[in-house]
Amino acid sequence: MTPAETETIPERVEIHAHHHPRLVHHFESMEQQREAGTLGMWWFLLTEIMFFGGMFLAYTIYRHMYFDAFADGSNVLSIWWGTFNTGILIASSLTMALAVYHAQMGGRKRVVLFLLLTILLGSIFLRVKYIEYSDKFEEHVFPAGDFRWPMAEKPGPPHNVGQLLVMLVGFHPDEEPQGPAEHGTSIKVTTKYAERGPYYGVAGQIPEEVADPGFAGHVRMYFWLYFAMTGFHALHMIIGIGLLFVLAWQSWKGKFSREYHSYIELTGLYWHFVDIVWIFLFPLLYLVDRHL
Amino acid sequence: MSEHIVEKSIYYKIFGALLVGTALTVGAAFVNLHNFNIVAALVIAGIKASLVILFFMHVKYSTRLTKLFVAVGFIWLFIMIGITMTDYLSRAWLTYQP
């Protein structure tokens, strides 16, 4: 160290004594540090817009090309689960916003409370998603593997709020009497288009002249997009819940304060972004041509 | 500019508006609006997303630089989808001569 540098050290120590301990060297104030964090988080979210944007673009093109198939595929999703989950996710955004609010006010216990509530709501969302995915696997509409269209009838999705709540805690009301669906015994014809479709990969079951070999493939494309988009959305939620657990722990330990709570605010931005993705996924995937 | 703290009551109002929007979008899907079903769905979703961005994500109270970032992100998304669809939507206008 040169003598000149050594001389400046006491002065720096002096500066340190006056600013917030969480202020890092390259920022002038907590204000600037927070602004930079917000901007950086938005930069990351722009890459996320592009990430999901590619899939939304693919969806737009294929929906335009194969609208009938997309309408058919969409109509076998459970509108009850979809609507319920949308409400749950919006509620989780509210609790997340309130967690940020209490962090800004400097309240430690309420921050932890609302972070845990957000985790709970996010977990309910994922639990419902798990039920929906299980149904789709059993109905052979998962696009990789033994995809079949028109799909086999199965003890289906909930038809009212009561069934929905019963199924949520892990009980399938209609499962016992009907048993596992034997493919080919009953076909769920969802819309007028479904009758045209052959079994995918099971040739000869539908007279050749009425079979449209492309149709089931187009429905399969819908389910590729359905699983890719909701799957990546669910992955983002799992990551988000992990982050929230860390934040809840750190908040409990008293890491954050009225002046310093950027991590909570930025994770909030992430959580709300994931909510926005779902706000678009819900009508695009669940609500195609429901009026048929 | 010091940090702007949004009132709790605003959060509750936005939450209510988002639930109403969800009910509207489900309701609209069961009415046959022909080509305008998708328009209605996207307009409602766009309004809901805007409410989340402006209030839950505090963009309404952010610096102009942050607002610019947010706007640019969505503008590029619209350019990507918009220009691609000008191609796909206009293909049917051509008659193919074998």
Average pLDDT over chain A reads 81
pLDDT at residue A188 in the model = 45
Tokens of B56: 């839950």
pTM of structure: 0.84
* Residue in the block written with tokens 């993705």: A277
Say which residues have a Cβ less than 8 Å from residue A269's Cβ, sequence separation at least 6.
A38, A41, A42, A45, B57
Residue A85: how many other CB atoms lie within 10 Å:
22
Tokens of A92: 């989780």
Site from B3, B57, B72 to mutate, A interface, most A CB atoms within 10 angstroms:
B57
Averaged pLDDT for residues B42-57 = 97
Q: Say whether A198 sits in a helix, a strand or coil.
A: coil
User: A108: closest CA among A254, A243, A246?
Assistant: A254
What pLDDT digit, counting tens, does each position of A33-61 carry?
999 999 999 999 999 999 999 999 999 99
Name the phi and psi angles at A112, rounded to 5: -60, -45
Assess contact for A45 and A249: CB atoms under 8 A: no
Q: Does B52 touch chain A (CB under 8 A)?
A: yes
Calpha distance A271→A118 (Å, rounded)? 9
What pLDDT digit, counting tens, does each position of A81-99 carry?
999 999 999 999 999 999 9
Residue of B nearest to A62 (CA): B88
Percent of chain A beyond pLDDT 90? 50
A213 pLDDT higher than 90 = no
What pLDDT digit, counting tens, does each position of B1-18 carry?
467 899 999 999 999 999
Assess contact for A232 and A278: CB atoms under 8 A: no
Residue A101 is nearest to which of B11, B37, B63, comparing CB atoms? B11
pLDDT at residue A291 in the model = 80
Shortest distance between the Cα of B92 and any Cα of chain A, in A, equals 11
Residue A264: how many other CB atoms lie within 10 Å:
25
Is pLDDT larger for residue A135 or for residue B72? B72
DSSP notation for chain B: -PPP---HHHHHHHHHHHHHHHHHHHHHHTS--TTHHHHHHHHHHHHHHHHIIIIIT-GGGS-HHHHHHHHHHHHHHHHHHHHHHHHHHHGGGSPP--
Q: Say whether A187 sits in a helix, a strand or coil.
A: strand
Is pLDDT larger for residue A124 or for residue A138? A124
Assess contact for A52 and A46: CB atoms under 8 A: no
Residues 12-41 of B with CB under 8 A from A: 12, 14-15, 18-19, 22, 25-26, 29-32, 37, 41
Contact A83 B85 (CB under 8 A): no
